[in-house]
Amino acid sequence: MLRRALPLALLVPLAACASFDRLDQGLSTLQGQHRDVAIARLGFPTEQKEIAGRDVYVWHRGSLFYQPATYFGGCDSRYGGMRSMSCVGFMPSVTDTRCTVRVIAEKDGTIVQTDREGDPNSCGFYADRLQGGVPISDPPPPKTP
């Protein structure tokens, strides 16, 4: 049984790396493109802000779950079966499945930098969107009044 489980356990970190590698490859194709290409591939951003004269587009996915504290430990055989505070504990657990993708563009819309962080499984969604995404084309022509 252990011989079967061990190879699977080794593949989990590799799958996470593969997801991040695919996302990084997809994000690298956006650099030098117009921001509309990123929006076409990733969807409308969750957030948009201006930092240091550049436009920052942010996509968020996933959740942060807090599990209430649960009992662990115990000292049934110590101190004549009495429990002491040194033997009992309550520990909350946190599950973080968030992924954040950032695209930084100049005022003319040209993407100059990309960034990502978070859970590989949630980031895999954005990697899929970028890998199978919209073909890159020339930026839209400037609007004339």
Between 95 and 104, the higher pLDDT residue: 104
Burial of 105 (0-12, 13-18, 19+ CB in 10 A): buried
- Which structural domain, as residue segments, surrounds residue 26? 2-62+97-131
Within 13 Å, how many C-alpha atoms sit on residue 42's CB side?
30
- Report residue 90's pLDDT band, with 50, 70 and 90 as the boundaries: low
> In angstroms, rounded to a whole number, what is the distance separating the alpha carbons of residues 110 and 130?
17
Same domain, 46 and 22: yes
Q: How many CB atoms lie within 10 A of CB 81?
A: 8
- What would the DSSP string read from start to end of 34-101? BHHHHHHHH-S-SEEEEETTEEEEEEEE--EEEEEEEEEE--TTGGGG---TTTEEEEEEEEE--EEE
Q: Is residue 103 part of a domain?
A: yes
Instruction: List the 99-105 sheet strands across, edge first.
Output: 47-51, 54-61, 99-105, 111-118
The 3-class secondary structure across 47-66, one letter per residue, is EEEEECCEEEEEEEECCEEE
Same domain flag for 76 and 15: no
Instruction: Read off the pLDDT of residues 96-129 as tens digits, 9 standing for 90 and up.
Output: 889 999 999 999 999 999 999 999 888 988 998 8
| Burial label, 99 (beta-carbon count in 10 A; 0-12, 13-18, 19+) | buried
Report the predicted TM-score, pTM, of the whole model to 2 decimal places: 0.65
Please tell me the total count of domains within the chain: 2
Q: What is the CATH number of the domain that holds 24?
A: 3.30.1450
Q: Are residues 102 and 90 in the same domain?
A: no
Q: Is the pLDDT of residue 36 over 50?
A: yes
Same domain, 14 and 38: yes
